[in-house]
Amino acid sequence: MTDPDVQPFVWPVRVYFEDTDAGGVVYHARYLNFFERARTELLRSRGVECEVLRLQHRLIWVVLEIQIKFLQAARLDDELLVSAELSWFKGVRQGFRQQMTRKRDGVLVATADLSAAMLHADSLKPARMPAWLHKELFDEQ
């Protein structure tokens, strides 16, 4: 699914005081927030708004698993570039690959690989992705 000639979607994030511990280093759980924002904005950039998907189509996504590798510390006031790309699709599951780099020096801060599943919003049972949504997400890369 990943085309080496296509650049992944990138979302800029600034590290604020609220994101850090007493030493000015980004608290480990905040990386999840930064990765989530990039995935959400990737979907939005492809015309998929999660709230519209939930309200009009009665579908939601949930994260099934995530593996994060912390490579360098991000610190207060760092500008981070968080990438997100859809890397695979199988049944009701989709895979995302993400990277977080520090803008000023290009150092790779963290990586994430995750799988998500589409569910029916009312029953929380697995749902196959509608063809129109699959086209929006995977055919336009």
Structure tokens at 4: 């080496």
Segment 35-84, tens digit of pLDDT: 999 999 999 999 999 999 999 999 999 999 999 999 999 999 999 999 99
Domain annotation for the chain: domains and CATH numbers: 9-125 (3.10.129.10)
pLDDT at 137: 82
Q: What is the DSSP string of the chain?
A: ---TTSPPEEEEEEPPGGGB-TTSBBPTTHHHHHHHHHHHHHHHHTT--HHHHHHHH-EEEEEEEEEEEE-S--BTT-EEEEEEEEEEEETTEEEEEEEEEETTT--EEEEEEEEEEEEETTT--B-PPPHHHHHHHHTT-
- Given a cut of 70, is residue 3 above it in pLDDT? no
Residue 63 token pair: 């994260």
Q: Is the CB of residue 78 less than 8 Å from the CB of residue 120?
A: no
Task: Please report where in the chains the tokens 């509608």 appear, as a residue.
Answer: 130
pTM of the predicted model as reported, rounded to 2 decimal places: 0.90
Sign for the CA dihedral angle at 127, 63, 135, 53 comes to: positive
Active site residue 139: no
Candidate list 3, 5, 19, 21, residue with the active-site label: 21
